[in-house]
Amino acid sequence: TSSHAELVIIGTGMAGIGLARALRRQGDQRSIMLVSADSGDDYSKPLLSTGFAKGLAPEQLAQRSATDLGEELNAHMVIHTQVTALNVDNQTILLEDGMVLGYDALVLATGAAPRVPFSIEPSIAQRCFTINDLDDYRRFHTALGQGPARVAIVGAGLVGCEFANDLHAGGHRVRLIAPEGTLLPRLLPPPLGNALGDAFSEAGIHLHLARSIDSIAAENGEDIVLRLDNGDAVSADLVLMATGLTPRTALAESAGLNVSPSGIVVDRQLRTSHPNIYALGDAACVDGVNAMYVQPLQASAKALAATLAGAPTPVSFGAWPIVVKTPLLPVVAYPPTNTPERWRIEGEGGDISALAENKDGRLIGFALTGGCVRRKVELSRAAPALLG
């Protein structure tokens, strides 16, 4: 029946769908139910920050509707439905509509939620956005409308920089505001962050770095005005907040599973602290690591599919660099997990390579811009695995 499945997966992001696909690919016949708070459409999240330049409508980003996905995977899809509680003793989950579903095994693939560090007044909430799934993209796409819009992006991390580049390429007027002094502060040492900043500025993206926001309010009836700590005022039609992501751990935590600020705590076999409950993707902290990008979740899906099929398989993560989608200046980074002893930085203009070394002179991470990104493969081979 539809109120019980041998495997229930909460979340239809790349982690949840990836796991269901990996299981079916290996011939697994068990009943699978996928439950999602969003539309359940199959889409590639990394493409969200490339869609505005290409003028892609939201429908063009959905590779498959939830209905088609359910058919492909021979899975029962429960969409636009929040799971509100988990009862580990009865092996059931509670849905927002009051329905109770039973499972033999449960997988938490609940992803991470945008974190907005300040409160937004209701009067402007309709014009302040985060984009972390296809539904968000749909709303922002509608709000942008036809003509060029003035977009203020808050945040200088991967999401903020990619949307800045993409919206700029799509013809919009972009300003980027962040408290840090350089772009991509967690991925790039300052000289490389500056190189990306120069490429953005030369293209006409206006940067307000090392600035905090004192207020965001509607002024003159129309404009949203962001007032900065140095007295500057940035006027915008829309605000896009790219101020970080927090793993969604609430469901697991209230059911008594071990969680940390980095995610739902799982071992190398993606097992939580409770039998028959697993986690992967942005929600999970695997043996101390929550990488929050695609390759680790794909490796996790493959390993977990094998484990669920009866062959316990620990996952490992290679030295997989992050390719930042900023065509104005290509960036590749494999940030060191520990603070390096030194950064060895070479190159000029936009073509810079930075090698992070420990005190024994060993390569422990790297960052590359412009023409230097071609060193990606060579350096990945020399760097230590993320989770070896």
Distance CA 214, CA 28 (A): 55
Q: How far is the CB of 304 from ligand FAD (least distance, A)?
A: 12
Residue 111 touches ligand FAD, criterion: CB under 6 A: yes
In angstroms, the Cα distances linking 31 to 3, 8, 71, 81, 103 are 11, 9, 13, 19, 10
> Of the listed pieces 29-37, 220-228, 302-310, 334-342, which binds ligand FAD according to CB under 6 A?
29-37
Q: How far is the CB of 239 from ligand FAD (least distance, A)?
A: 16
Q: How far is the CB of 385 from ligand FAD (least distance, A)?
A: 16
Q: How many CB atoms lie within 10 A of CB 119?
A: 8
* Choice from 15, 305, 331, 386 touching ligand FAD (CB under 6 A): 15
Residue 297 touches ligand FAD, criterion: CB under 6 A: yes
Distance CA 143, CA 162 (A): 19
Q: How many CB atoms lie within 10 A of CB 30?
A: 13
Q: How far is the CB of 383 from ligand FAD (least distance, A)?
A: 17
| CB within 8 Å of 107: residues ≥ 6 apart | 7, 8, 9, 10, 11, 16, 19, 277, 278, 279, 280, 304
- Where is 241: in which H helix or E strand? strand 238-241
Residue 282 touches ligand FAD, criterion: CB under 6 A: yes
* Choice from 5, 33, 37, 177 touching ligand FAD (CB under 6 A): 37
Residue 270 touches ligand FAD, criterion: CB under 6 A: no
* Choice from 69, 216, 238, 292 touching ligand FAD (CB under 6 A): 292
Residue 82 touches ligand FAD, criterion: CB under 6 A: yes
| Total of residues contacting ligand FAD (CB under 6 A) | 35
Residue 165 touches ligand FAD, criterion: CB under 6 A: no
* Choice from 22, 32, 49, 255 touching ligand FAD (CB under 6 A): 49
Residue 325 touches ligand FAD, criterion: CB under 6 A: yes
In contact, 184 and 207? CB cutoff 8 Å: no
In contact, 354 and 192? CB cutoff 8 Å: yes
- Residue (of 300, 305, 253, 257) closest to 277 by Cα position: 257
| Closer to ligand FAD by Cβ: residue 93 or 152 | 93
- Residue (of 269, 270, 252) closest to 261 by Cα position: 252
Residue 193 touches ligand FAD, criterion: CB under 6 A: no
3-state secondary structure of 147: coil
Residue 248 touches ligand FAD, criterion: CB under 6 A: yes
Residue 130 touches ligand FAD, criterion: CB under 6 A: no
Degrees (nearest 5) of the Cα angle 126, 128, 134? 90
Instruction: Give the interface with ligand FAD as residue ranges (CB under 6 A).
Output: 10-16, 35-38, 45-46, 48-49, 82-83, 109-112, 132, 159, 162, 248, 251, 281-283, 292-295, 297, 325
